[in-house]
Amino acid sequence: MKHSAILQHVAVALLLAMMLVSCNRGSNAARNNDRQASLLVMTQKRGYLKVEIKDPWHNGKLLHTYLLVPRDSVVPRDLPAGTVVRTPVRRALVYSEVHTSVMRELGGFEAVKGVCDANYFTDPEVLARVKHGAIADCGSSSAPSIERVIAMKPDAILLSPYQDATYGQVEKLGIPLIECADYLEYSPLGRAEWARFYGALLGSEERGDSLYRAVRGRYDAIVARTQKATSHPSVITEMVISGVWSVPGGNSYMARVIKDAGGSYPWSDDKSTGSLSLDFDQVLAKAQNADFWFIKWTGINTLAQLQAQYDLNKNFKAFKTRRVWVCDTGESHFFVRIPFHPDVLLHELAAVLHPELFPGYRHEYYHHLDR
């Protein structure tokens, strides 16, 4: 009887282990089937979540590996190499308002205990908490105040990486550095998918999954409409500034949005995922007859003001036909909201290019220069 009872316990333990492995495989399969991010790989393991950040600048290499272990669990003994992060993160130093914003959406705003570059933040609650000391102002992101960082006792620091980056003294504190490479994704939905990672950091993985799935659902629904379009108007973006026109590459984030919005793009044959630095004449030669012109800038409310920026802007067809749309980035939260809500940007452009497919749409960000 005793031997039989032992065998029963062993059998139950094996069954539970098999169920756990099966559950992990199912979770990983579902996540991978829905994957859009090119730099983020999340794999559920027994007792921890493995998160690999691919190196955007060196093919085949990893920028960082994180091992997310729940606070109420024992750290597994057989962990692979990587940075261990106990979740949920409770005290975070955050360098960018983009990430404090998504943390709020994920229900983790209370974990924001410090920021860098506070003078660039526009969120009233962040600014109020900085003023009253509830959120520490740790100075410049390029050289944070180490004394303030130590005093706030963060259990994670969220920062944006750059090529061959070094992070100064904060690297020596033994605090996990979360390299937020989402801004280097060239797929709109790819960047939005990083909400899953930030959700996992905050102990809100389901909320992160839900946010991403909702955004993707809306994005795909808009694309389904634009695929019914019978025309594909050509589009240019931005404008010349100090002699340089930063044009999105043909494989860039913005080029993808234009395509998904039912537009055509003069540089669609280009393979770049970043921006092309061109002069005015190069852009005019290739895109003078573009049907629509979208600009992100501040202080441009009329065609006359656009012409005042650079007189030869008047030579573009879109200028002459009054098909110029401007997003006033100084008066909106465009750069904070859009990274994790590309469906909003897509809707803005699609409703301009194909108003017949989106009757009654009211623009949140872009306004028409009709005079």
Tens-place pLDDT, residues 319-339? 999 999 999 998 899 999 999
Single out the residue of 56, 64, 66, 97 nearest to residue 184, CA to CA.
56
Mean per-residue pLDDT, 28-44:
81
CATH topology for 230-368 is Rossmann fold (3.40.50)
| Per-residue CA distances from 231 to 226, 318, 366 (Å) | 10, 17, 22
- How much of the chain is in helix, strand and coil states, percent to nearest 5? 45, 20, 35
* CA 70 to mean position of chain CA atoms: 25
pLDDT band at 27 (very low <50, low <70, confident <90, very high): low
Mean per-residue pLDDT, 263-292:
98
The predicted pLDDT at position 35 comes to 86
Amino acid making up residue 270: D
* CA 228 to mean position of chain CA atoms: 28
Mean per-residue pLDDT, 40-64:
97
Mean per-residue pLDDT, 262-273:
97
More confident residue, 25 or 225: 225
The predicted pLDDT at position 4 comes to 52
User: Which DSSP category does 1 fall into?
Assistant: -
The predicted pLDDT at position 46 comes to 96
pLDDT band at 2 (very low <50, low <70, confident <90, very high): very low
**Torsion sign over Cα 74, 91, 120, 123:** positive
- The structural domains of the chain, with segments of one domain joined by +, span 35-87, 230-368
Tens-place pLDDT, residues 170-225? 999 999 999 999 999 999 999 999 999 999 999 999 999 999 999 999 999 999 99
Tens-place pLDDT, residues 343-370? 999 999 999 999 999 999 999 999 999 8
Residues 6+ positions from 212 with CB-CB distance below 8 Å: 34, 192, 193, 195, 196
The predicted pLDDT at position 228 comes to 97
Q: How confident is the prediction for the chain on average, in pLDDT? A: 93
The predicted pLDDT at position 16 comes to 46
